[in-house]
Amino acid sequence: MPPDAASLLDVSPATIVGSSATPDFLAHAFSSLNIENYDEWAWTNYKHAVRNLCTRLSAQRLIEIGGGRDPLFGLDEISDLGVKMTVNDVANGELAVLPHCYQTACFDVAGDISRVANLRGTFDLAFSRMVFEHVADGQRAWANLYELLAPGGVALAFVPTLYALPFLLNWLLPDRLAAAIVKAIFRHRTDDADPVFPARYSWCVADTARMDSMLSAIGYRDVFVQPFYGHGYYRSFPIIRDMHERFTSLARRHDWRMLASFAYIAARK
């Protein structure tokens, strides 16, 4: 069984990370990645993006939100990074599948985090992938991350965004119907291997001004949003797929944020 929340980490006093960072620290960090704003780049390079932030922050303590049974980094990769990594999930059962060498923390990022008060101000970098669209209260999730971060720490979320059509439908349709459609398109999405969770899309938008306003109200002082265009939902439908690819090229060229499909959303405490 994974350790309970009260015995997770031997937490030492937090230090300010990235203390020499400029107000546009995040923009500089992501510009060094030579980002191409289409969906396949986002998926292929997310691990590299996290590593890049880790290096630039000289991060020592990281937490993956919603990592569950499938964390982004293997134990060897964590060792190579030279960091202390905690894997979070809302379900103890997901964390129980991990090898015992992983440090784990079971709590709801959008819920009451008082039971893990020993983790406040601890982490230099908190990151997630395809998690924040499932939380019912995006504001509380980001506020909780703010509490968990050390001064100067960064929170990064890789999310699908409104108002890409597949995600808009997923948001509007009843949960069971939406899950059935996803499973029909992507056969590997089974309840045992890769379950489909209800999606809420709270605070999952690629509009920089909107996210900056909302995150700054929490207290974050540097916000960066990188949109990505395109998705794989039409790959089995040739005519629709071709039309979608043409339209996606147009949206990418003009950076029509309302039509983005995914985004990296980053904010620094």
Taking the alpha carbons at both ends of the chain, their separation in whole angstroms is: 33
Q: What is the pTM of this model?
A: 0.84
Of 229, 228, 226, which Cα lies nearest the Cα of 244?
229
Burial class, 142, CB count within 10 angstroms (exposed 0-12 / middle 13-18 / buried 19+): buried
Secondary structure percentages of the chain, helix, strand, coil, to 5: 40, 20, 40
Indicate the CATH number of 5-268 among 3.90.850.10, 3.40.640.10, 3.55.10.10, 3.40.50.150: 3.40.50.150
Task: Answer yes or no: is pLDDT of 5 > 70.
Answer: no
Summarised one tens digit per residue, pLDDT across range 19-64 is 445 678 999 999 999 999 999 999 999 999 999 999 999 999 999 9
Give per-residue pLDDT as tens, 210-255. Answer: 999 999 999 999 999 999 999 987 887 888 888 889 999 999 999 9
Structure-token pair, residue 26: 């995040």
